[in-house]
Amino acid sequence: MPNGTLYCGDNVAILRQWVPDRSVDLIYADPPFNSGHAYYATGKKHEGPRFGDVWKFDVDKYQATLDQSHPALTRGLQAIRSIIGECDGLAYCAALAPCLSELRRVLKDTGSLYLHCDVRMSHCLRLMLDALFGRGRFRNEIVWAYRTGGAGKRHFARKHDAILFYTASDRYTFHPQRERVRYRKQFFGAQRDEHGFYADVLVRDVWEIPAVINVSSERTGYPTQKPLALLERIVAASSNEGDVVLDPYCGSGTALVAAQKLGRRWIGIDASEEALRVTQTRLGIPVVERG
């Protein structure tokens, strides 16, 4: 494919075999969140889960994944173990550790990583990334706020994800982004169009972008699909035309679609063949079915 490569399989094995050190400009990683669920295409439970997100602590597995991780991350995991104990959360962190180590290896010195997670594991993942990148390389915790249905009665409705933004060094690519804010009244600096007053202001670390819901025109049916507007903002902010964007958990391929649209090259990896079929369709690449 002229603009990129798709790989099907476990991302750690693929990164080790195919992606050289310091070769990637931007990584967007959207792994499972430790939700405790299996994900089905909406309304199609009979077709089986698209991917699972259930983790159980197993001491041998834990030790084996520690041995494959960056030493700083291994120390970070040991600290997390002493706080949260031997639980599903620790199994999840340990499962992600070898992948995060590989992502750090393949990132260029001018590159950036955006790790998408939610309140369940963001506190642990941030410590892991501090261990791997250094605390000084933390740039933002982006709050992606959305309004989807469903709310608990014993706490405030949890309606945001966290996107942890780290850079490999202090010499990183960053293009500030702007968004249009509308106002009821005129004020100094406001502009006017047929809808009223507005200003194009610098984007904060709270992003209000609608989630992909059943009636969204971009919806593919692949579970946990992220909105294209979210990925376009990340790609536009943290890469240049012709740069390489890597998504090691690409799912329906939203980050790759954004990269292609903005003239970047891309690498997509997913363990699910079905995810890659959806991605290929979205990228306009013919799907060749094996017999």
Residues forming contacts to ligand SAM in the complex (CB under 6 A) are 10-11, 30-32, 51, 222, 224-226, 249, 251-252, 254, 269-272, 275
Which CB sits closer to ligand SAM, 262 or 271? 271
- With H, G, I as helix, E, B as strand and everything else as coil, classify residue 143: strand
Query: How many helices and strands (H and E) does the chain possess?
Result: 8, 13
Residues 213, 252: Cα–Cα separation, whole Å? 14
Tokens 């692949």 belong to residue: 222
Give least dist CB 116 to ligand SAM, A: 7
When the beta carbons of 110 and 207 are compared against ligand SAM, the nearer one is 207
Of 30 and 232, the one with the shorter C-beta distance to ligand SAM is 30
Min CB(279)–ligand SAM separation in Å: 8
Contact 76, 129 (CB under 8 A): no
Q: Which two tokens stand for residue 187?
A: 């004020």
Q: How far apart are CA 140 and CA 229, in angstroms?
A: 18
Look at residues 38, 58, 61 and name the one whose alpha carbon lies nearest to residue 50.
38
**End-to-end alpha carbon distance in the chain:** 22
Beta bridge partners, 112, equal 26, 167
Looking at the Cβ atoms of 110 and 276, the one nearer to ligand SAM is: 276
> Residues 40, 254, 1, CA angle at the centre, nearest 5°?
110
CA distance 99 to 162: 19
Instruction: Pick the closer one to ligand SAM by CB: 54 or 199.
Output: 54
Of 110 and 280, the one with the shorter C-beta distance to ligand SAM is 280
CB of 291 to ligand SAM, least distance (A): 24
* Least gap, CB of 94 to ligand SAM (angstroms): 13
In the complex, least distance from residue 109 CB atom to ligand SAM, rounded to whole angstroms: 25
- Smallest gap from Cβ 29 to ligand SAM, in A, equals 9
Tokens 């933002």 belong to: 140
Nearer to ligand SAM, 104 or 226 (CB): 226
Residue 152, number of CB atoms within 10 A of its CB: 8
- Distance, in Å, from the CA atom of 274 to the CA atom of 284, rounded to the nearest integer, reads 15
Q: What is the 3-state secondary structure (H, E, C) of 171-209?
A: CCCCCCCEEEEEECCCCCCCEEECCEEEEEEECCCEEEC
- Of 32 and 76, the one with the shorter C-beta distance to ligand SAM is 32
Half-sphere exposure of 202 (CA within 13 A, CB side): 6
Q: How far is the CB of 185 from ligand SAM (least distance, A)?
A: 39
CB of 83 to ligand SAM, least distance (A): 25
